[in-house]
Amino acid sequence: MVQDMVEQVRLIRQKTKAAQDRHKSYADLHRRDIEFAMGDKVLLKVSPMRGVMRFGKKGEVVYWLALPPTLDRVHNVFHVSKLRNYVSDPSHVLEVENIELDESLSYAEIPKEILVRKVYLVTEL
């Protein structure tokens, strides 16, 4: 009985190691090693924060961004996965309207126009 348990544990460890090796191989294949230099323009991908994850990865994985003064309450250090290379294009410049933020950095959204309107007809059976 003990011999069977030892064999099962050995088999579980072997299969776990094989799965970890497959995962590492896939991750290494799809990794993007990106580095930016001082003065490079980048696009920042932002999304609501769902949780903080910490990894033991070494290297240039975070960058400090010089944000405009209007964003002085936003943390300015970002993980490299949230940044993309940016090629300057004058058509990308947008007129920005001033948005009033409250203490929690949120704002009320007000619709500007109705883009689609559908009318449903209800018929009796």
Helical H runs in 31-91? none
Nearest to 64 by CA among 86, 45, 39, 87: 39
pLDDT of residue 55: 52
Query: Are 45 and 83 spatial neighbours (Cβ–Cβ below 8 Å)?
Result: yes
pLDDT digits (tens, 9 = 90+) for 96-124: 778 788 888 888 888 888 888 888 888 77
pLDDT of residue 25: 85
53-62, 66-75, 90-99: least confidently modelled range: 53-62
Q: Structure pTM? A: 0.37
83: number of Cβ within 10 Å = 18
What are phi and psi for residue 64, nearest 5 degrees? Answer: -95, 125
* Placement of tokens 């300057």 in the chain: 88
The helix (run of H) or strand (run of E) holding residue 64 is strand 62-64
pLDDT digits (tens, 9 = 90+) for 34-44: 788 888 888 77
pLDDT of residue 49: 56
Nearest to 44 by CA among 17, 11, 71: 71
In 1-125, DSSP assigns E strands to 42-44, 62-64, 77-79, 83-85
With H, G, I as helix, E, B as strand and everything else as coil, classify residue 8: helix
